[in-house]
């Protein structure tokens, strides 16, 4: 038997350390997490005319960070669909192919994922090589229409529960019939009901939320157990994370112009965020472009290039959204021979830069597949804007308004005093606008 005091002490110390390590809790110390996030990409695959954006650049930045560290979580807060001709022509499918190549860990459903009808979401799920989440929307059969309500993602030993939430008001932002049979549940009760299941399994609770920053603030107050809300829908640029109680809220503008970057230090034992450092990264030519993503983008863009690259007019100055909205209303009125024309503000999705006007420009401004509809409305029920345009109005006379099928489907919102009826012309709205630009050589008065 070895009786050397030094060796006995060393042996005893080793035993104590081994016992201590064996009995230590599974969650101890701190861990780091880098959350990179986007939202409301709206299928803006290529850089914008001002040079910002481009999905290959976003992917290049993420690739660079992943090459430097192993604690990266890459998330998207919904509305990948609708915004460019590439998306509209292929009914939203391309973005899920490209996002798969980009290496997203998860996204949540947004309201525009319903633009081509909720059944198509099943196909989006098949295309996507990452989970599409949505905890608070079910189909007619009562089952979730997303892949899952949540996923627990292990990031270098840190277990992150990611819950998908979209706005309960989605049917109001979607053309009539596209969400028929779906049920949209309130966000707070949905998240709260998942906590007993998720809390024991995870170190962090993250909500991928497509409901807008104001709703996110309410959610943070209602469910303080949420650690982080990665938001979308309101297109808000939050340069530094907002804090409500112990909940952080972030959002990264829209259309791929910014990447949200949030560096966290997490106390694994208590499941709390110790430090948080957030910023927005401008997506421009200073970022490296991922060649695989660039190739994936061009697979789709090359297929539509000939169809949308034709020059149909020219403008000597930039044209903003208000002017384009007024132009659309004039085209509607002239196309259907009505008393008035009306284009909703949300239906105009881009501005037009000075120079040649292409078919693509019109698609970018008007990405929705609406038709032109005549609405009949009695003078006494006309909204204020209509009375101002007409001047003298007979309360009993029936007037006609040319508008798009989205507005007609939600006429209670735009004509709250009621209508006398409507008639669908069957004329594709976008075709009428393209022909008007071609005929006048631009967006004429």
Give Cα separations from 227 to 129, 132, 195, 404 (angstroms).
26, 21, 12, 42
Domains and CATH numbers, the chain: 30-301 (3.60.21.10), 310-440 (3.90.780.10)
User: Which structure tokens are listed for 44?
Assistant: 């803006």
* pTM reported for the whole predicted model: 0.89
Provide the edge-to-edge strand list for the sheet that holds 30-38. Answer: 132-133, 106-108, 72-76, 30-38, 258-267, 272-282
CA atoms within 13 A on the CB side of 439: 10
pLDDT (tens digit, 0 to 9) for every residue of the chain, 445 residues total? Answer: 455 544 544 444 443 333 333 333 345 689 999 999 999 999 999 999 999 999 999 999 999 999 999 999 999 999 999 999 999 999 999 999 999 999 999 999 999 999 999 999 999 999 999 999 999 999 999 999 999 999 999 999 999 999 999 999 999 999 999 999 999 999 999 999 999 999 999 999 999 999 999 999 999 999 999 999 999 999 999 999 999 999 999 999 999 999 999 999 999 888 899 999 999 999 999 999 999 999 999 999 999 999 999 999 999 999 999 999 999 999 999 999 999 999 999 999 999 999 999 999 999 999 999 999 999 999 999 999 999 999 999 999 999 999 999 999 999 999 999 999 999 999 999 999 999 999 999 997 6
pLDDT of residue 27: 58
| CA 99 to chain CA mean position, Å | 13
pLDDT at 2: 52
Strand partners, 8: none
Distance CA 303, CA 143 (A): 36
What is the model's pLDDT at position 69? 97
Helix (H) or strand (E) holding 158: strand 158-166
Q: Identify the pLDDT of residue 28.
A: 66
Q: Quick check: 437 and 357 in contact, CB under 8 A?
A: yes
| Residue 64, helix vs strand vs coil | helix
Element (H, E) at 208: strand 204-210
What pLDDT shows up at residue 444?
79
End-to-end CA distance of the chain, in Å? 103
Name the residue among 115, 121, 125, 120 with its Cα closest to residue 367.
Answer: 115
Helix (H) or strand (E) holding 281: strand 272-282
Name which of 76, 84, 78, 74 is nearest 114 in CA terms.
78
Residue 88 CA to residue 116 CA, distance in Å, equals 9
Q: Cα angle at 360 between 356 and 362, to 5 degrees? A: 85
Length, in residues, of the chain:
445
Residues paired with 259 in a beta bridge: 281
Instruction: Give the separation between CA 363 and CA 367, rounded to whole angstroms.
Output: 5
Output phi, psi for 203, to 5 deg.
Answer: -95, -30
What token pair was written down for 277?
């450092």
pLDDT of residue 134: 98
As a whole number of angstroms, the distance between CA 165 and CA 181 comes to 18
């Amino acid at each position: 038997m070895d009786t050397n005091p030094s060796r006995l002490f060393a042996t005893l110390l080793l035993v104590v350390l081994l016992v201590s390590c064996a009995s230590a809790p599974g969650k101890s110390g701190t861990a780091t997490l880098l959350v990179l996030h986007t939202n409301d990409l709206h299928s803006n695959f290529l850089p914008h005319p001002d040079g910002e954006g481009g999905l290959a650049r976003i992917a290049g930045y993420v690739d660079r960070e992943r090459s430097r560290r192993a604690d990266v979580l890459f998330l998207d807060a919904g509305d990948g669909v609708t915004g460019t001709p590439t998306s509209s022509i292929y009914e939203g499918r391309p973005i899920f192919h490209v996002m798969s190549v980009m290496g997203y860990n998860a996204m949540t459903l947004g309201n525009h994922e319903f633009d081509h009808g909720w059944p198509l979401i099943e196909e989006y799920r098949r295309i996507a090589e990452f989970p599409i989440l949505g905890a608070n929307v079910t189909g007619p059969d009562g089952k979730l229409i997303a892949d899952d309500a949540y996923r627990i993602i292990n990031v270098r030993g840190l277990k992150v529960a990611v819950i998908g939430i979209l706005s309960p008001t989605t049917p109001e932002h979607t053309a009539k019939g596209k969400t028929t049979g779906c049920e949209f549940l309130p966000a707070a009760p949905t998240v709260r009901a998942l906590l007993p299941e998720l809390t024991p399994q995870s170190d962090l609770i993250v909500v991928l939320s497509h409901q807008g920053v104001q709703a996110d603030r309410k959610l943070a107050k209602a469910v303080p157990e949420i650690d982080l809300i990665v938001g979308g829908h309101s297109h808000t640029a939050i340069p530094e994370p907002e804090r409500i109680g112990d909940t952080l809220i972030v959002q990264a503008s829209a259309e791929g112009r910014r990447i949200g970057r949030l560096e966290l230090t997490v106390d694994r034992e208590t499941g709390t965020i110790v430090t948080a450092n957030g910023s927005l990264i401008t997506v421009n030519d200073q970022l490296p472009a991922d060649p695989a993503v660039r190739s994936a983008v061009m697979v789709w863009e090359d297929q539509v290039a000939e169809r949308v690259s034709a020059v149909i007019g020219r403008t000597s100055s930039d044209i903003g959204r208000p002017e384009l909205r007024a132009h659309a209303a004039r085209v509607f009125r002239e196309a259907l021979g009505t008393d008035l024309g009306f284009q909703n503000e949300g239906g105009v999705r881009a501005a037009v830069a000075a120079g040649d006007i292409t078919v693509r420009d019109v698609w970018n401004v008007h990405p929705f597949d609406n038709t032109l509809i005549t609405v009949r409305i009695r003078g006494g029920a006309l909204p204020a804007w209509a009375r101002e345009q007409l001047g003298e109005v007979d309360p009993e006379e029936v007037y006609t308004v040319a508008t798009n099928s989205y507005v007609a489907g939600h006429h209670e919102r735009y004509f709250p005093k009621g209508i006398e009826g409507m008639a669908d012309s069957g004329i594709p709205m976008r075709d009428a606008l393209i022909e008007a630009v071609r005929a006048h050589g631009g967006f004429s008065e």
